[in-house]
Structure 1
Amino acid sequence: MARPSSGDVKELTVTFQPPLYLERRGWIFEILRREDVHTVLDVGCGEGELISCLCNPAPWLPPPPTSVLDSLANCAGNTADACDNFHIAAALPEVYLHPTKVIGLDIAPNDLKYAIEGTAPRNSIRWSPLEVNIWQGSLESINPEFIGIECIVSTEVIEHLPDETLRDFAPVLLGAYHPRLLLITTPSYTFNTRFLPPDVPSSARNGFPDPTGRTTRIFRHHDHKFEWTVEEFRQWCQIVAEDWGYDVDVSGVGKPVEKDEWGRDEELGYASQVAAFRRREGQPHEEHRCAKLLAASVLQRTENRPKHKLLATHQHIAHERTHQPQALDEIGICVVDKMVYYQDTVMRVGELWSEDAISEQCGGWLDVLIKAVDVHPDLQLCSSHTKTLSNWEIVLKGRVFKEKVLWQEQTLDMQHNNNSPSSVGSFEELVTPDDGDHKGFEGVIWHDDPLRKITHGDEVTEPSLAPHDLVGNWDSWKSTTGGWDDSNASDTFNSIGGWGS
């Protein structure tokens, strides 16, 4: 039986939940949190999607020294302070990043305009200071400002590099800059087979032929210089890791929602390949890297190349009350006042912390709020080892408030229309994503609206004309499809009409 021609073949539907770009970002942030990273360089940062996330302030500071809590307890006349310390230790961990320096580097000045806008200071309380630097330049040049950075991130970048730049990728990043961590993501060519039935030739795929002519492969993006198979990527990672004194863990992210009807899911693996390089510590490894750098003549090759240009520096200032908590009894009174104001006898810790007056009185330390509640006679902390600290409940003892009726008008309207709250759907379910899209250099889909969506931390914001007036828009994260592009579009891969980065 004749094999089908490319004109007879319809590509298979492949979607990701969460979207693939969020899975890659989630992998990066999980490592940054686990490793308690404070300084980050994003090479090939583009329009700044990742570094704008890093600029999102943590809701509270890391736990204070024990001496701070003990001093506050003593001032309050309470010396039995072990109880709430035990409670805090028993809570489910809630780990947030507290970066002190974030750097973005890219060669495209137009993209960097958005990176500058997206990393500008915003009108939200920040408990830790942060410096952001945006540089324009190539990976081929060495920037002394990047030497010794704690973590370098390179997401969907390496596949765009020509041979001469790829040759210096590892020597510059792992040799000259030698970060503690290097995190890389790149498309998996092995996975591309997932878009066609097994009896269809690879030439039937939508995409772009290898521009170098070295292979007959079809790539996902017109600017890709190569796409590695799983084995090719693993081999490259292991070679450069050994050359520059690093250990490397190679894996992947992105499994489709749909099951492959030919049972190829395990064989084809993940859509994106990921690699986490960890520096080997000790003087012998340091000397090895220095010797390797000199032997490779990297410094000589990069000496006459164009230098990086600093385009912008942002200073995110910490709140003036940071690390300056008030007396515990004053904080307790403030908590009681807020609960009386809201006529709530039970409130979650996170709800009360969202009140600026309370978080400011605590100097940014959530642990201080817990201590204040613990010593106040009218408050009781309901702890649970199955909940995070912010989801624990605070009870106002000895008070009874009238039952509150919330959203009375909406309730009456729903009764009039014979609708229940569950039947009308949630706010997120009622939101329809925009459809007008265009692609940038990296295959990233952006909305055509000049007030474009920019991602910050765990939210997507709609920027106003002033970057500091950004307002959160949680529903934009509720995407049900992935594709290959760093987009919020809700279309399937096939309807996007191209191969993203």
Structure 2
Amino acid sequence: MSSRPEIDPNDSPELLSHSTLPQDVGAPEVSMVEESTVTGVTFTPELWMQRRHWALDVLRREGVRSVLDIGCGPGSLLETLVVPPSTIREPPILSEQSKDDEDVSSQGGELFIQRLGGLDVSPSVITSALKTLAPPTNSTIPRWEPLHTELWLGGIEKYNAKLEGYEAIVLLEVVEHLDPDVLNRFGVVTFGTYRPKVLLVTTPNFDFNAKFPRAEEHDFAKKGFVDPTGRTDRVFRHSDHKLEMTGAEFRGWAEAEAANWGYDVEISGVGVSSQPSYYPSDDPSQPGQPIYASQTAIFRLATGLPLRSPRSVRTVELPFMPNSGESSHPHKLAGKFIHPSNAPGDGRKSPPGDAINIVKECYQRWNIGEVSLDELWGVHEISGRCAGSKRYLVSVLGGFGDCPSIQGSSDDFEVKMEKGQGLRVRWRGFTPVQQASKAEDSWGKVIPPRQGDEGQSGGW
């Protein structure tokens, strides 16, 4: 597959000239809260990783098929989302005894993305993000269905008709970088016009900044950054932050946006440090809530209609102003790609007996009687015979949980769940083959006489 973008000039705005993009991009500035030398606290896992894991977990649970990463940066989240799932889209394999068991539910921890997009206002990150979204040249990882990707350069406050239709929009550590006038248009463009099924936001929690050294004791103002907007006397974590909200401020902002645009919102956080702090509880008998380093909000589209109208966002074609429609919007398309399906097999499930024979051949070749289900699935001939359905493979091997056996399946195998290891498959009748040693041990064996020595006796 060629890595050149597939562009329809009649359907897209001007393609961004890649020669104008910076090629030597320095390391991104790290928030002061993530510098343990400044705060004296650490995070396990690291804070950026906790934010990413939170977003991926929500997207999996919501079962979205398309994701737009606004403020994508160099592509940190995109590089995970672009990885193909290991199976076709199907329900996870769950135990009948305990569907809430962590080990069982984790079997369904994949995303089945068909469309993936990124948007960022900074030209310095586009080259890196572009490489992330472009199809790999020599990938051996099966992809069971095509993936469409696109990358745009531009601001969040500008409406782009090409960005409609995404089921999920993600903004990780973005809103704190927005100028006040841009933040005012955040809800109008995202909730009011794009109207995703779910929208995820993380942003720094100013309450956590109390962990910073006191300004009067350690001259913290020289390590932090005074509010550049002049609206407050707060000292922020990052030189480009325009806003850092307390927990109460963030809740008020998120609930107001949700109410304005017909969404429900769930507010929490990630990032409990090695030295945790807690908000005092209104009820003395109840424990306090942890003070997270990053606040999180999950906005879910509700059934109600928005209280505000986003009509002013859209532009219209005027007869006296040619090119005043969406074709002239300020976003520049950096790349648009198709990751084709390259799955093994012909897309059809083979008879159970054929799949069973290949599984047995693997056990014999590996000379082992029990392996994980994922190890078996990693054999492309097996996954291809199952047409990408791991549930079909389990059914062929006798079934497990909510995945029953099918006609023609084998009684020779047992599929079981082992805590911490996931699903494993045992071949009941497996007999290991004894491997001949490279150098035969002759200790204790009778050494035959040399030719010509028969009948001779030795002695002193």
Equivalent residues of 2:254, 2:297 under 8 A apart: yes
Aligned partner of 2:381 among 333, 336, 357: 357
Aligned residues with identical type, % of pairs: 32
1:179 aligns with 196
From the superposition, tell whether residues 154 and 361 of structure 1 become closer, same or farther in structure 2 (CA, over 3 Å): same
Q: Which amino acid aligns with 1:270?
A: Y
**Mapped pair 1:401 → 2:418:** no
From the superposition, tell whether residues 179 and 281 of structure 1 become closer, same or farther in structure 2 (CA, over 3 Å): same
From the superposition, tell whether residues 150 and 404 of structure 1 become closer, same or farther in structure 2 (CA, over 3 Å): farther
**Mapped pair 1:317 → 2:340:** yes
C-alpha displacement of 1:395: 1.3
C-alpha displacement of 1:197: 6.0
C-alpha displacement of 1:376: 5.1
C-alpha displacement of 1:308: 1.5
More helix by share: 1
Give the TM-score, by structure 2 length. 0.73
Q: Which amino acid aligns with 2:342?
A: H
**Mapped pair 1:213 → 2:201:** no
| Residues 241-273 of structure 1 deviation map (CA, whole Å, 9 limit, x = unaligned) | 111111111111100023569999957700001
| Residues 190-240 of structure 1 deviation map (CA, whole Å, 9 limit, x = unaligned) | 100112369959955721111112211111111111111111111111111
C-alpha displacement of 1:385: 7.9
C-alpha displacement of 1:120: 2.3
- Counterparts of 1:53-132 in structure 2, within 5 Å, are 53-63=80-90, 92-93=104-105, 94-95=107-108, 96-122=110-136, 123=139, 124-132=141-149
**Mapped pair 1:332 → 2:356:** yes
Quick one: distance in 2 between partners of 1:112 and 1:330?
47
Quick one: distance in 2 between partners of 1:61 and 1:259?
42
Quick one: distance in 2 between partners of 1:261 and 1:245?
32
Quick one: distance in 2 between partners of 1:399 and 1:372?
21
Quick one: distance in 1 between partners of 2:374 and 2:346?
18
Alignment coverage as a number of residue pairs: 370
Q: 2:330 aligns to what SS in structure 1?
A: coil
Q: 1:102 aligns to what SS in structure 2?
A: strand
Stretch of structure 1 that moved more, 297-306 or 345-354:
297-306
Quick one: distance in 2 between partners of 1:85 and 1:154?
32
Equivalent residues of 1:127, 1:322 under 8 A apart: no
Quick one: distance in 2 between partners of 1:85 and 1:141?
44
Quick one: distance in 1 between partners of 2:332 and 2:70?
14
Q: 2:144 aligns to what SS in structure 1?
A: coil
Quick one: distance in 1 between partners of 2:197 and 2:75?
22
Aligned partner of 2:414 among 367, 381, 384: 381
| Residues 372-410 of structure 1 deviation map (CA, whole Å, 9 limit, x = unaligned) | 22245573123238577x5222315152333799xxxxx
Q: Which amino acid aligns with 1:401?
A: V
1:23 aligns with 50
From the superposition, tell whether residues 126 and 168 of structure 1 become closer, same or farther in structure 2 (CA, over 3 Å): same
> Which consecutive residues of structure 2, in runs of 5 or more, have no partner in the other structure?
1-36, 282-286, 317-323, 399-407, 438-460
C-alpha displacement of 1:335: 0.6
Q: 2:78 aligns to what SS in structure 1?
A: helix
Quick one: distance in 2 between partners of 1:317 and 1:88?
39
Instruction: State the Cα RMSD in Å.
Output: 3.3
C-alpha displacement of 1:109: 2.3
Quick one: distance in 1 between partners of 2:278 and 2:297?
29
Q: 1:170 aligns to what SS in structure 2?
A: helix
1:272 aligns with 294
Equivalent residues of 1:344, 1:401 under 8 A apart: no
**Mapped pair 1:138 → 2:138:** no
From the superposition, tell whether residues 170 and 299 of structure 1 become closer, same or farther in structure 2 (CA, over 3 Å): same
Equivalent residues of 1:64, 1:365 under 8 A apart: no
2:424 aligns with 392
Q: 1:392 aligns to what SS in structure 2?
A: strand
- Counterparts of 1:13-52 in structure 2, within 5 Å, are 13-52=40-79
Quick one: distance in 2 between partners of 1:293 and 1:342?
62
**Mapped pair 1:281 → 2:285:** no
| Residues 286-335 of structure 1 deviation map (CA, whole Å, 9 limit, x = unaligned) | xx46x6223xx333699798432221122112235374222211111111
Equivalent residues of 2:272, 2:290 under 8 A apart: no
- Flag the structure with more relative contact order, 1 or 2, with Cα contacts below 8 A and sequence separation at least 6: 1
| Residues 51-109 of structure 1 deviation map (CA, whole Å, 9 limit, x = unaligned) | 111011111123389xxxxxxxxxxxxxxxxxx99879978121211010001011222
Aligned partner of 1:189 among 206, 211, 228: 206
Quick one: distance in 2 between partners of 1:85 and 1:188?
37
From the superposition, tell whether residues 334 and 203 of structure 1 become closer, same or farther in structure 2 (CA, over 3 Å): closer
Q: Which amino acid aligns with 2:416?
A: S
Q: Which amino acid aligns with 2:335?
A: A
Equivalent residues of 2:63, 2:111 under 8 A apart: yes
From the superposition, tell whether residues 355 and 170 of structure 1 become closer, same or farther in structure 2 (CA, over 3 Å): same
From the superposition, tell whether residues 200 and 303 of structure 1 become closer, same or farther in structure 2 (CA, over 3 Å): farther
2:21 aligns with none
> Which consecutive residues of structure 1, in runs of 5 or more, have no partner in the other structure?
1-9, 66-83, 406-501
Aligned partner of 1:227 among 244, 266, 284: 244
C-alpha displacement of 1:146: 1.8
Q: 1:292 aligns to what SS in structure 2?
A: coil
The higher radius of gyration belongs to 2
Quick one: distance in 2 between partners of 1:343 and 1:143?
57
Quick one: distance in 2 between partners of 1:149 and 1:256?
34
Give the TM-score, by structure 1 length. 0.67
1:155 aligns with 172
1:426 aligns with none
Equivalent residues of 2:277, 2:290 under 8 A apart: no
Quick one: distance in 2 between partners of 1:158 and 1:262?
24
